[in-house]
A and B are shown apart, each in its own frame.
Chain A
Amino acid sequence: MIRFDNVSKLYPGQARGALEDITLDVEKGEFVFLVGASGSGKSTFLRLVLKEERPTAGRIFVAGKELARLSQWKVPALRRQIGTVFQDFRLLANKTVFENVAFAMEVIGRSRGQIHRDVPAVLELVGLDGKEDRMPDQLSGGEQQRVAIARAFVNRPAIVIADEPTGNLDPTTSVGIMKLLDRINRTGTTVVMATHDSTIVDQMRKRVVELEDGQLVRDQSRGVYGYSR
Chain B
Amino acid sequence: MRLQYVLKDIGIGLRRNLTMTVALVVVTTVSLSLLGVGLLMREQVALTKGYWYDRVEISVFLCNEFDTGANCAGGKASKEQKAAIRQTLGGSPEVQRVFFETQEQAYQRFKLRFNADLADNITPNQLQESYRIKLKNPEKYEGVVSAVSGLAGVFEVSDQRSTLGPIFDIINRLQWATWAASVALLTAALLLTGILIRVAAFNRRRETSIMRLVGAASFYIQLPFILEAVVASVIGAALACGLLAAFQVLVVQGQLERLRFTQWVGWQQVLSIYPWLFAAGVALAVVAAFVTLRRYLRV
Tell me whether B210 and A90 are in contact (CB under 8 A): yes
Q: Which of A20-28, A75-83, A124-132 lies on the face that meets chain B? A: A75-83
Q: Which of A31-39, A101-109, A170-178, A212-220 lies on the face that meets chain B? A: A101-109
Bound form: Cα–Cα A111–B221 in Å: 18
Q: Say whether A179 faces chain B, with CB atoms less than 8 Å apart.
A: no
Bound form: Cα–Cα A81–B213 in Å: 10
Count contacts on B: residues with CB < 8 A to the other chain: 18
- Total A-B Cβ pairs within 8 A: 60
Q: Say whether B173 faces chain A, with CB atoms less than 8 Å apart.
A: no
How near does chain B come to A80, taking the closest CB pair, in angstroms? 3
Chain A residues, CB < 8 A from B1? 106, 109-112, 115
- Known A-B contacts A106-B1, A106-B5; the reply to A76 vs B206 at CB < 8 A is no
Bound form: Cα–Cα A112–B207 in Å: 20
Contact of B5 among A50, A73, A107 (CB under 8 A): A107
- Known A-B contacts A73-B218, A90-B206, A92-B207; the reply to A79 vs B2 at CB < 8 A is no
Contact of B214 among A73, A104, A112 (CB under 8 A): A104
B 99-132 contacts with A by CB, 8 A: none
- Known A-B contacts A75-B299, A112-B1; the reply to A107 vs B214 at CB < 8 A is yes
Tell me whether B211 and A90 are in contact (CB under 8 A): no
Chain B residues, CB < 8 A from A80? 214-215
Tell me whether B214 and A155 are in contact (CB under 8 A): yes
How near does chain B come to A150, taking the closest CB pair, in angstroms? 12
Q: Say whether A3 faces chain B, with CB atoms less than 8 Å apart.
A: no
Tell me whether B213 and A107 are in contact (CB under 8 A): no
Bound form: Cα–Cα A115–B4 in Å: 15
Contact of B216 among A76, A78, A82, A152 (CB under 8 A): A76
Tell me whether B299 and A104 are in contact (CB under 8 A): no
Bound form: Cα–Cα A81–B215 in Å: 8
Q: Say whether B212 faces chain A, with CB atoms less than 8 Å apart.
A: yes
Tell me whether A106 and B215 are in contact (CB under 8 A): no
Tell me whether B207 and A76 are in contact (CB under 8 A): no
B 181-231 contacts with A by CB, 8 A: 206-207, 209-218, 220-221
Tell me whether B206 and A108 are in contact (CB under 8 A): no
A 21-59 contacts with B by CB, 8 A: 50
Bound form: Cα–Cα A81–B209 in Å: 16
How near does chain B come to A191, taking the closest CB pair, in angstroms? 16
Tell me whether A107 and B206 are in contact (CB under 8 A): no
Q: Say whether A151 faces chain B, with CB atoms less than 8 Å apart.
A: yes
How near does chain B come to A111, taking the closest CB pair, in angstroms? 7
Contact of B215 among A72, A76, A115, A151 (CB under 8 A): A76
How near does chain A come to B12, taking the closest CB pair, in angstroms? 9
Q: Say whether A84 faces chain B, with CB atoms less than 8 Å apart.
A: yes
Chain A residues, CB < 8 A from B217? 73, 76, 108
- Known A-B contacts A90-B206, A109-B2, A112-B1; the reply to A79 vs B220 at CB < 8 A is no
How near does chain B come to A71, taking the closest CB pair, in angstroms? 12
Bound form: Cα–Cα A65–B160 in Å: 78
How near does chain B come to A87, taking the closest CB pair, in angstroms? 14
- For A50, A82, A106, A155, the residue with the greatest tally of chain B CB atoms inside 10 Å of its CB is A106
Tell me whether B212 and A79 are in contact (CB under 8 A): yes
Contact of B209 among A76, A78, A90, A112 (CB under 8 A): A90
- Known A-B contacts A92-B206, A111-B1; the reply to A79 vs B218 at CB < 8 A is no
- For B211, B218, B299, the residue with the greatest tally of chain A CB atoms inside 10 Å of its CB is B211
Q: A79-B214, A82-B215 are in contact. List 19 more A-B contacts (CB 8 A).
A: A50-B213, A73-B217, A75-B299, A76-B216, A80-B215, A84-B214, A90-B206, A92-B206, A92-B207, A92-B210, A103-B210, A106-B5, A107-B214, A108-B216, A109-B1, A109-B2, A110-B1, A111-B1, A151-B214
Instruction: Tell me the B residues contacting A by CB distance below 8 Å.
Output: 1-2, 5, 206-207, 209-218, 220-221, 299
Instruction: Tell me the A residues contacting B by CB distance below 8 Å.
Output: 50, 72-73, 75-84, 90, 92, 103-104, 106-112, 115, 151-152, 155
6 contacts between A and B (CB under 8 A): A73-B217, A75-B299, A79-B214, A103-B214, A104-B214, A109-B1
